[in-house]
């Protein structure tokens, strides 16, 4: 346990703590929840179990497979390269990856920009979002970055380029492997590995202690579980689980988190702690203090890139560069303010930042998919706002 985390008693919000007591063990095996308001820690808890079978309690410094919580972190790395002049948001990525020329159905090979890759408007898709298990990405042998596929990053990007684009880049929104491709662009532009870039541009400047593409600290890695009846079931190596109705299964490799030979998936591959994730979100929320990005680039991250186009659920959300951005709070039915950022991760995580409220919330759990898009996500959000409003 990090000594700095163990010496000071952690504050708790009563409604949040009550909710956590209610969700264990039937809905969530374990969770780490952090809340900061204007930079001040208002809630920090580690509840439930990191490993149910050995009765190992959850700890605040537990490590988790971050899945798509990786996206805002690597998007920040890429935007720091833009700030350095090594990359350009709007130049064709073929400048750095000349062989990356996926074609449209009519045979044209349009240029694709980093902006489109990071905002999921490039025309790419995800293998798990295909209509059936034998879709084009599956036939091409593409990895979503969650399985045990032994491909290199370069080979995965080559295979992605063989699949026809689903639409003209910049015309629509579709969740995609764009951030993985952006990671390959960053490597090609700098000659550095993605792990080295992450360390140089984010981990060292922000003092991140725990986040990497593969950990050797096996004892701190939370065991993953899948929502089930009467209680969540342990996720086994190679298990396939559909994240949403109407999608094909994601193949999971929990062992990937400890295997440095697997390619670094910028969209899904990081392992880290709740405090590290919070440190990045807080740095983005207050870039004047952190200087992690120039203010103009940070503003681009939090600007819906396709207007109101974005994730189909919930309503009212567009998409910036690395995360969803709220443009209509009434349509979403949320207490969050317009301009709020949010996203999650398939292993059971959610987070949001409400800049207008000075509020950042991170919830890393070891239970998919309840911790990502189950009722817990909105229940936690509402409990946080209720507690903070009660003391204003």
Predicted pLDDT at 6:
54
Q: Judge if 151 and 225 occupy the same domain.
A: no
Cα torsion for 254, 374, 49, 390, to the nearest 10°? 140
Cα torsion for 120, 325, 243, 25, to the nearest 10°? 150
Short-list 338, 319, 320, CA closest to 328: 338
Within the chain, strands assigned E span: 30-37, 40-51, 56-57, 64-65, 225-226, 233-234, 240-241, 250-251, 271-272, 317-319, 324-326, 341-345, 349-354, 359-365, 367-368
Cα torsion for 131, 164, 300, 32, to the nearest 10°? 40
C-alpha span between 19 and 17 (Å, rounded): 5
Cis peptide before 25 (omega within 30 of 0): yes
Q: Judge if 127 and 178 occupy the same domain.
A: yes
Q: Respond yes or no: is residue 68 known to be catalytic.
A: yes
Residue 72 backbone class (left: φ over 0; alpha: ψ -120 to 50; beta: rest): alpha
Predicted pLDDT at 134:
86
Phi, psi angle pair for 363, to nearest 5°: -130, 105
Write the CA distances from 350 to 16, 206, 310, 345, 378, integer angstroms: 15, 21, 17, 6, 10
Which residue range(s) make up the domain with 189?
A: 72-200
Radius of gyration of the chain (CA): 20
Q: Judge if 338 and 373 occupy the same domain.
A: yes
Q: Judge if 217 and 298 occupy the same domain.
A: yes
CA 11 from centroid of its chain's CA atoms = 26
C-alpha span between 227 and 29 (Å, rounded): 9
Q: Judge if 60 and 153 occupy the same domain.
A: no
Cis peptide before 314 (omega within 30 of 0): yes
Q: Judge if 61 and 77 occupy the same domain.
A: no
Each residue of 263-280: pLDDT tens digit?
999 999 999 999 999 999
pTM: 0.96
Mean pLDDT of the chain: 95
Among candidate residues 172, 200, 228, the one where a domain is terminated:
200
Q: Judge if 227 and 272 occupy the same domain.
A: yes
C-alpha span between 315 and 320 (Å, rounded): 15
**Average pLDDT of the residues in 149-160:** 97
C-alpha span between 36 and 282 (Å, rounded): 8
The domain that holds 8 is classified in CATH as 3.40.710.10
Q: Judge if 58 and 183 occupy the same domain.
A: no
CA 323 from centroid of its chain's CA atoms = 8
**Average pLDDT of the residues in 95-108:** 96
Residue 2, pLDDT above cutoff 80: no
**Average pLDDT of the residues in 214-233:** 94
Q: Judge if 262 and 295 occupy the same domain.
A: yes
**Active-site position among 6, 45, 54, 68:** 68
Among candidate residues 159, 185, 200, the one where a domain is terminated:
200
Q: Judge if 357 and 379 occupy the same domain.
A: yes
Residue 1, pLDDT above cutoff 80: no
Each residue of 22-45: pLDDT tens digit?
999 999 999 999 999 999 999 999
Number of structural domains, the chain? 2
Among candidate residues 167, 185, 200, the one where a domain is terminated:
200
Q: Judge if 239 and 157 occupy the same domain.
A: no
245: Cβ–Cβ under 8 A, 6 or more apart, which residues? none
Token pair listed for 107: 């045979």
Token pair listed for 190: 């700098």
Residue 109, pLDDT above cutoff 90: yes
Q: Judge if 50 and 185 occupy the same domain.
A: no
Helical residues (DSSP H) of the chain, grouped into ranges? 3-7, 14-23, 70-84, 114-118, 136-139, 153-162, 178-190, 194-198, 204-206, 274-285, 287-290, 295-301, 329-332, 370-373, 375-390
Token pair listed for 128: 């798990």
């Amino acid at each position: 346990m990090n000594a700095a985390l163990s010496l000071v008693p952690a504050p708790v919000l009563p409604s949040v703590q009550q909710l956590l007591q209610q969700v264990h063990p039937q809905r969530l095996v374990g969770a780490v929840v952090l809340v900061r308001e204007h930079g001040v820690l208002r809630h920090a808890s580690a509840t439930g179990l990191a490993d149910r079978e050995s009765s190992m309690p959850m700890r605040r410094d537990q490590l988790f497979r971050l899945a798509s919580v990786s996206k805002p972190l690597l998007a920040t790395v890429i935007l720091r390269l833009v700030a350095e002049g090594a990359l350009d948001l709007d130049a064709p990525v073929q400048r750095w990856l000349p062989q990356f020329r996926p074609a449209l159905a009519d045979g044209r090979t349009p240029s694709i920009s980093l902006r489109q890759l990071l905002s999921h408007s490039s025309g790419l898709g995800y293998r798990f979002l295909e209509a059936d298990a034998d879709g084009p990405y599956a036939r091409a042998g593409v990895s979503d970055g969650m399985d045990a596929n032994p491909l290199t990053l370069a080979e995965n990007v080559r295979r992605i380029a063989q699949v026809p684009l689903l639409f003209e880049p910049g015309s629509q929104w579709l969740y995609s492997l764009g951030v993985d491709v952006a990671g390959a662009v960053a490597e090609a532009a700098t000659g550095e590995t993605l792990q080295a870039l992450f360390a140089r541009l984010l981990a060292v400047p922000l003092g991140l202690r725990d986040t990497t593409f593969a950990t050797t600290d096996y004892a701190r890695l939370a065991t993953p579980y899948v929502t089930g009846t009467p209680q969540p079931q342990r996720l086994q190596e190679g298990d396939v689980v559909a994240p949403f109705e109407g999608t094909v299964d994601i193949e999971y490799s929990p062992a990937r988190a400890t295997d440095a030979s697997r390619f670094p998936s910028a969209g899904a591959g990081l392992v880290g702690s709740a405090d590290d994730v919070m440190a990045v979100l807080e740095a983005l929320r207050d870039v004047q203090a952190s200087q992690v990005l120039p203010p103009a680039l940070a503003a681009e991250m939090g600007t819906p890139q396709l207007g109101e186009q974005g994730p189909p659920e919930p309503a009212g959300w567009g998409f910036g560069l690395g995360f969803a951005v709220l443009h209509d709070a009434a349509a979403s039915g949320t207490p969050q303010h317009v301009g709020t950022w949010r996203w999650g991760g398939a292993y059971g995580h959610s987070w949001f930042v409400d800049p207008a409220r000075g509020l950042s919330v991170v919830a890393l759990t070891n239970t998919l998919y309840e911790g990502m898009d189950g009722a817990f996500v909105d229940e936690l959000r509402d409990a946080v706002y209720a507690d903070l409003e009660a003391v204003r």
